[in-house]
Amino acid sequence: MDGAVQGIDASPLALLGIGDVEERVYRALLKRHRASAALIADDLAITLDDATGLLEHLESLGLGTHTLESPKTYVSVEPELAIDALIKQRQRTLEQARTVVPMLAKAFAHASLDHAGQQPVIELITDRAQLGQVLVQMYQSAQTELVAFQKVPIILPSTQITSETATEAVVRTISDECFLEAPGVLELLRNDMAHGEQARTFSRLPFKMMIADRRIAVITLDAQNPEAPTLLIHRSTLLEALCLLFEFVWEKATPVVAARDGEVKVRSESTGHGIESAKALLPLLSAGLNDKAIAQELNISASTLNRRIGDLMSIYDARTRFQLGLQVARLNDIAPR
């Protein structure tokens, strides 16, 4: 997704409060299983005092113990047991931190009240770094749904989503044609779709947009200028209108699929095979019937008819319906009549 996830280059043990030096000491102790502080100091070329302090810190984390003999002999604890215990302890700590959220939310709402006593519907984001933080927070906090309009230029450099960073929310994106033509975008899109993202494309989008859980949205004021201010929109009639706009465009947009060979392709949603749609549509178009009559004949809505024709024009690289008829007739030996 456009700028949705930022990579973190750090040791996983750092998330548990174990720094690089502590990790080196722990690995050295694991290698020996039992060792004095002097041995660890020699192994790592550090002072005896530093080795002793680090070993005692590891012991406080439950990664090691020591014997009662003098000098002490430190014994490593089985990693699976020790690390699992630290993870559970960290989870309990995070759950405790969650209890302060209602109080902080109340303070935020109070501070955000305007002179009329109402929380502002719209906030202006002028700093690109702040925008990056907002987008990351929206992606990571989304619980049910995340939808987006994607246009060039890309707001933030994207990093590939992995099974660890993928959100549990349903992600749907609509990209315009220029976005799909940007370097590297198709590969990123293929990776995101492999992790559950539903993608469609539409010829032209009005702006860049991301909506999380239908409760908060970000839209650009100038789609062509990445430095332009951005609007942060809270729950309101305006936000409801943006959600309706997305659903309207989603209905008309063309699905993007990943072929078996891994290539990302745009294909027709209506039948799964462009040629089948062409066989049904072209005779009616060539007969001179209007859209209403064709829709009635095929028992489909006017919007579905327009989408099918648009899909076929995209598949056969045609700019007009006349070109579509010629292309299909030439490539698939279907003669208009």
pLDDT along the chain (337 residues), means of 10: 46 76 88 89 90 87 84 85 80 70 62 56 83 85 91 62 68 87 82 86 88 92 76 90 92 74 53 53 70 81 79 71 67 44
121-266 carries CATH number 3.40.470.10: no
Whether 173 and 220 have beta carbons less than 8 Å apart is answered as no
Which residue is associated with the tokens 């995070």? 94
pLDDT for 323? 72
> What letter does residue 13 receive in the DSSP assignment?
G
pLDDT for 18? 81
pLDDT for 176? 87
Which residue is associated with the tokens 């430095």? 227
Q: What are phi and psi of 282, to 5 degrees?
A: -60, -40
Q: Six-digit token pair at 131?
A: 């925008």
pLDDT for 165? 59
Q: What's the sign of the alpha-carbon dihedral 271, 312, 260, 158?
A: negative
pLDDT for 81? 81
What pairing do the DSSP bridges indicate for beta strands 145-150 and 170-176? parallel
Whether 180 and 186 have beta carbons less than 8 Å apart is answered as yes
pLDDT for 331? 53
Fold match flag (121-266 vs 274-332): no
For residue 123, the cross-strand partners are 232
CATH of 12-81, one of 1.10.10.10, 3.40.50.300, 3.90.1150.10, 3.40.50.720: 1.10.10.10
pLDDT for 211? 94
pLDDT for 322? 73
Which residue is associated with the tokens 């990776």? 191
Domain 274-332 belongs to what topology?
Arc Repressor Mutant, subunit A (1.10.10)
What are the sequence ranges of the domains in the chain? 12-81, 121-266, 274-332
Rounded to whole angstroms, the Cα distance separating 219 from 150 reads 11
pLDDT for 6? 40
